[in-house]
Structure 1
Amino acid sequence: MRLTLPLILSLLASPLSAQDTSLMALETSDTGRGWEAVGRLDVDRGGFCTASLIEEKLILTAAHCLYDSDGSPIAAERFTFLAGLRDGRAEATRGVLRVTPHPDYVHRSERPQNDAVAVDIAVLELDRPIRQGRVTPFTLATEPQTGAQVGVVSYANGRANVPSLQEVCEVLDRQGGIVVMTCSADFGASGSPVFWMNGGTPRIVSVISAKGRSGARDVSLGTSLADPLARLLDAHARGVGALPVPVARTIGVGTRDGTGAKFVRP
């Protein structure tokens, strides 16, 4: 949820897990060690998302972060990636040369639907590689199974200058390429990497796309990376669908799809 472009949904899901851990601010070099490749993705003239380094010159985030509040695509030169940003200092700062959303992503600024969330991922090509020793690109894993414990590192509203780690949250369900989780998410957390710890090594298994409600409690939705990411990386490598590209599609107000989820904006 980019700070100036929030996505909120209404969703029926299971209650929050009692095993969930609270957000922990990564305020020092010790607490932030190993997470330096998560950074804040800034847009000039306002707004930010969270992104993560997956190659020396490539970062992963949510596709809706590539669009302005009026629905128009944001030019690549307006983005800045601040890897490991903490209290005004970043491990590395890079501009962006090219941005590519998933080929099937269609941006609906007012009422995004499940089919958009299922492919709400994008890659951005940096203007220079990041090769600092402490900023190591994350590896990727297949989508998490229902009941799996995952974690999230994010920047968000009220904690924009220091990343926060939620070490344990739970995958409640998977629906049509969407991962439903108990992980904490707020505006600015769009694009945050969802990690599965395998042998102590964090691997990205999803990307936060939206937040919602399960009864009186919050849940978050992520995009499954299993197949969508392969298509996205192929499109980027071939130069297919790079923004800015005009995007237009009309949908019915308040419509629902087969999962029963209804997306709304505040």
Structure 2
Amino acid sequence: MKYLLTVVFLLLSLGQAQADSALKAFRTGDDSRGWEAVGRLDFAGRSFCTGSLITETLVLTAAHCMFDIYSHKPHAPSDVTFKAGWRNGSAQAYRTARAIYVHPSFSISTGDRHDRLVNDIALIELDRPVRDGSVQPFPTAARPEKGQAVGVVSYAHDRAETPSLQASCLVMARQGGVLVTSCDVDFGSSGAPIFDMTGSRPRIVSVISAKARYHGQKVSVGTSLDGSLGDLLKLAATGKSSFKKVDAGPLPELTDTEFVVGVAGH
């Protein structure tokens, strides 16, 4: 069986989704302890996304964040700053990007919404490793099952200075490399990590890509890491920036789009 998923792609931004548990703002150091590897990505003071360390030098985020919100041209690495654990005007570590790696199958100008969702991940290589003992990169894992509880940590336009944790939201559907979740996100949450919270340490299973409506409910759509992250890690190992090959042509109209996702048996 297939259901209609109305997707809205918003460059560097997302709309609010129905939550299963309330957002908890990281107002103190105790609140944010263990989550410092999630940080804010700033783009030349013009916009921001959310990103997370998966190694001392690599930040995982959404591919569409790597393009300027106004011109749609690729960001220069020197314009990208990662602020690990950014909270109330200070961060555990500040780093500039040395190189940017976008999934080889992602194009900002593609008219195929499914392809854009499935491949909407990128890695940022930092100019120096983050070796602060309080900033521990997160492990990654395969996509969760339908109905599984997951969590998300994100910044947003109304919480740009303090990230928030939603400790429990649900995977409502999955198809190929796309996850539909009830996680609560808003403008600036693009690239935020979705976590499997069942182990001893949270593991990243997806990154936030877009907002959507599913059965009349506001939801978020995430890009699964299965396969696609491995492709990116191989690309990063070459040291060759993606943007020599990425099509940065005119951006297609980003309005409500009907997107069919098959969820039977998932």
The TM-score normalised by the length of structure 1 is: 0.86
The question of 1:214 aligning with 2:214 is answered yes
Q: Spell out, residue by residue over 1:181-212, the C-alpha distance to the aligned partner (whole angstroms, 9 max, x if none).
A: 00011110000000012333100000000111
AA of the residue aligned to 1:21 = S
Q: Which residue of 2 aligns with 1:150?
A: 150
Task: Check the 8 A contact 2:14/2:188 in 1, yes or no.
Answer: no
Task: Check the 8 A contact 1:2/1:187 in 2, yes or no.
Answer: no
Q: Which residue of 1 aligns with 2:261?
A: 259
Separation in structure 2 between the aligned mates of residue 193 and residue 74 of structure 1, nearest angstrom = 21
Q: Give the direction of change, closer, same or farther, for the CA distance of 1:86–1:77 in structure 2 (3 Å limit).
A: same
**Equivalent residue runs for 1:22-171 within 5 Å:** 22-68=22-68, 69-108=70-109, 113-171=113-171
Q: Give the direction of change, closer, same or farther, for the CA distance of 1:75–1:87 in structure 2 (3 Å limit).
A: same
Task: Check the 8 A contact 1:62/1:207 in 2, yes or no.
Answer: yes
Q: Spell out, residue by residue over 1:123-178, the C-alpha distance to the aligned partner (whole angstroms, 9 max, x if none).
A: 00001100101000000111111111000000011000001000000001112210
Q: Spell out, residue by residue over 1:25-77, the C-alpha distance to the aligned partner (whole angstroms, 9 max, x if none).
A: 01111110100000000011410000000000110000000001222111110
Equivalent residue of 1:39, what SS? strand
Q: Which residue of 1 aligns with 2:4?
A: none
Structure 2 runs not aligned, ≥5 long: 1-7
Bigger Cα displacement from structure 2, 23-32 vs 246-255: 246-255
Shift of residue 213, structure 1, vs aligned partner: 2.0
**Equivalent residue runs for 1:5-16 within 5 Å:** 5-6=12-13
Equivalent residue of 1:187, what SS? coil
Separation in structure 2 between the aligned mates of residue 66 and residue 2 of structure 1, nearest angstrom = 15
Equivalent residue of 1:162, what SS? coil
Separation in structure 1 between the aligned mates of residue 190 and residue 64 of structure 2, nearest angstrom = 8
Q: Give the direction of change, closer, same or farther, for the CA distance of 1:3–1:134 in structure 2 (3 Å limit).
A: farther
Separation in structure 2 between the aligned mates of residue 208 and residue 54 of structure 1, nearest angstrom = 16
Equivalent residue of 2:197, what SS? strand
Q: Spell out, residue by residue over 1:71-93, the C-alpha distance to the aligned partner (whole angstroms, 9 max, x if none).
A: 21111100000000110010100
Sequence identity (%):
47
AA of the residue aligned to 1:172 = M
Q: Which residue of 2 aligns with 1:12?
A: none
AA of the residue aligned to 1:96 = A
Equivalent residue of 2:115, what SS? helix
AA of the residue aligned to 2:96 = G
The TM-score normalised by the length of structure 2 is: 0.86
Task: Check the 8 A contact 2:109/2:249 in 1, yes or no.
Answer: yes
RMSD: 2.7
Task: Check the 8 A contact 1:2/1:48 in 2, yes or no.
Answer: no
Task: Check the 8 A contact 1:170/1:181 in 2, yes or no.
Answer: yes
Q: Give the direction of change, closer, same or farther, for the CA distance of 1:246–1:143 in structure 2 (3 Å limit).
A: closer
AA of the residue aligned to 2:85 = G
Shift of residue 112, structure 1, vs aligned partner: 6.5
Q: Give the direction of change, closer, same or farther, for the CA distance of 1:175–1:200 in structure 2 (3 Å limit).
A: same
Q: Give the direction of change, closer, same or farther, for the CA distance of 1:181–1:99 in structure 2 (3 Å limit).
A: same
Shift of residue 16, structure 1, vs aligned partner: 5.5
Q: Spell out, residue by residue over 1:91-127, the C-alpha distance to the aligned partner (whole angstroms, 9 max, x if none).
A: 1000110001001001128x66111111100000001
Equivalent residue of 1:201, what SS? coil
Separation in structure 2 between the aligned mates of residue 2 and residue 78 of structure 1, nearest angstrom = 23
Shift of residue 252, structure 1, vs aligned partner: 7.9
Q: Which residue of 2 aligns with 1:263?
A: none
Task: Check the 8 A contact 1:3/1:47 in 2, yes or no.
Answer: no
Equivalent residue of 2:194, what SS? strand
Equivalent residue of 2:133, what SS? coil
Q: Give the direction of change, closer, same or farther, for the CA distance of 1:252–1:6 in structure 2 (3 Å limit).
A: closer
Separation in structure 2 between the aligned mates of residue 217 and residue 122 of structure 1, nearest angstrom = 28
Q: Which residue of 2 aligns with 1:237?
A: 237
